[in-house]
Amino acid sequence: MESSVAASPELPSVVDLEKQYLLQNYARFPLVLHRGKGCYVYDTAGNRYLDLIAGIGVNALGYSHPRLTRVIREQAGLLLHTSNLYYHEYQGPLAERVAKSSGLDRVFFSNSGAESMEGALKMVRSHGRKIDPAKYHVIALENSFHGRTLGALSITGQEKYRRDFEPLVPGAHFVPRNDITALEQVVNEHTAGIVLELVQGEGGIFALTAEYARKARELADRYNALLVFDEIQCGVGRPGTYFAYQLFDPVVMPDVMVAAKPLACGIPLGVIAANERAAVSIGPGMHGSTFGGGPLACRVALEFFDILDPLLPKIVETGSYFRMRLTELAKRYGFIKEIRGVGLMIGVELDMPGKQIVLDAMAEGLLINCTHDTVIRMLPPYILTEQDVDRAITVLNRVFKKTKTT
Ligand SMILES: Cc1ncc(COP(=O)(O)O)c(C=O)c1O
């Protein structure tokens, strides 16, 4: 992969410029990406990569989807931005689409996951405050990830993200996932909200049980707290349902749900959806966004929803096929501890660090990601086919074989 940077004579300065002028917060792989088509992305030297991380779960329809390209081109020539001072044609219809697909009542549009989480936390605060100023505590999970803003960080249950910025917003309490007793012990009348990532993504692809989600619902009702589901990584079609809470039978409804990543397939867009009980916590003037819910992002998201409806069963099928093929691989390689996930959200837990595997796969034309040191994470486009899976398995097999012998 070094070669793809070195072999891009027209762009030798991109990396140097970034080194000189960007905040040095990202540890990038040495790959300069140039264009994409379907599930494949190409670097500036023309090398092709099957992309199973897809912009960390954003590029749900892969690259250059013809229908998205068409509406983006058309909308760019009509109206890009209006602010929220005026109506445009697409925010209302998209709000209806999100409300109907989520089973919730009202929607607010933002620009990212963390910004959606901030809005949800404001709802939680305002809801609690109306009842009692001391009711501001938020229960969240250990190992969770909710974003990089101060509010979202304050409920992110990982010390490594929090420690440089403390003191954070007060009132956060962390409990281990799927531990019902711990949850019962911590929720009380001072709890304003319980925030759950139904499938922890950054944390290593760990799903919550239906029993745990139901208990959280019960406790939120008992103590008049809001139950918030963070579906930023696991939602909007990735589980094979619109949202991960719809995998439970019966469905466990949140009061508030936040989503973002795949919502407009690469155009920044986040959403907060709430039932009426939670929605009343935000009145006129209490929240807003200059860019949120602009015509381009909303129109693209509407187009995406149209494409997504018939794709949902395919996501389930391809996801199961992928896990089945990975399970076969796991039998061959003792360092694979577990295959996890729902739909097209897949984790492969190793008994060793996965960074070299990511690098070796990249050298073989496959983009995957490693989270929490030892979990290979894949969030492929929803248009992934079984042939793509077979190709990925062939590469992974080669990489794993090499790993075994080195
Ligand atoms: C579950 C979850 N919540 C929140 C966020 C933050 O989203 P963003 O990076 O768009 O601010 C992420 C991002 O990875 C996430 O996975």
Q: What residue spans define the domains of the chain?
A: 2-65+310-405, 91-293
User: Considering only CA atoms, which residue is closest to atom 8 of ligand 1?
Assistant: 113
Q: Is the CB of 202 under 6 A from ligand 1?
A: yes
74 has a pLDDT exceeding 70: yes
CATH level 3 topology of 91-293: Aspartate Aminotransferase; domain 2 (3.40.640)
Could you list the beta-strand ranges (E) of 10-168: 33-37, 40-43, 48-51, 106-110, 137-141
Q: Is the CB of 127 under 6 A from ligand 1?
A: no
Q: Is the CB of 112 under 6 A from ligand 1?
A: yes
pLDDT band at 405 (very low <50, low <70, confident <90, very high): confident
Task: Return the pLDDT at 6.
Answer: 44
- List, for residues 243-279, the tens digit of each pLDDT value: 999 999 999 999 999 999 999 999 999 999 999 999 9
Q: What's the predicted TM-score (pTM) here?
A: 0.96
49 has a pLDDT exceeding 70: yes
Within 8 A by CB and 6+ apart from 234, the residues are 197, 198, 199, 201, 244, 342, 345
Distance 146 CA to ligand 1 centre (A): 5
Kindly state the percentage of the chain with pLDDT values over 70. Answer: 97
Query: In the CATH scheme, what architecture does the domain 2-65+310-405 have?
Result: Alpha-Beta Complex (3.90)
Kindly state the percentage of the chain with pLDDT values over 90. Answer: 95
| Average pLDDT value over all residues in the chain | 96
| Terminal alpha carbon distance of the chain | 20
Q: Is the CB of 117 under 6 A from ligand 1?
A: yes
Strand order in the sheet with 270-274: 106-110, 270-274, 256-259, 226-230, 191-197, 137-141, 172-175
Atom of ligand 1 nearest to the CA of 231: 1
Atom of ligand 1 nearest to the CA of 144: 1
Question: 62 has which bridge partners?
Answer: none
Task: Return the pLDDT at 404.
Answer: 78
In terms of Cα–Cα distance, which of 300, 348, 317 is closest to 240? Answer: 317
Average pLDDT over residues 159-167: 97
Question: What is the dihedral angle through the alpha carbons of 250, 264, 270, 34, rounded to the nearest 10 degrees?
Answer: 130
Atom of ligand 1 nearest to the CA of 261: 10
How many residues comprise the chain? 406
Atom of ligand 1 nearest to the CA of 147: 6
Task: Return the pLDDT at 5.
Answer: 43
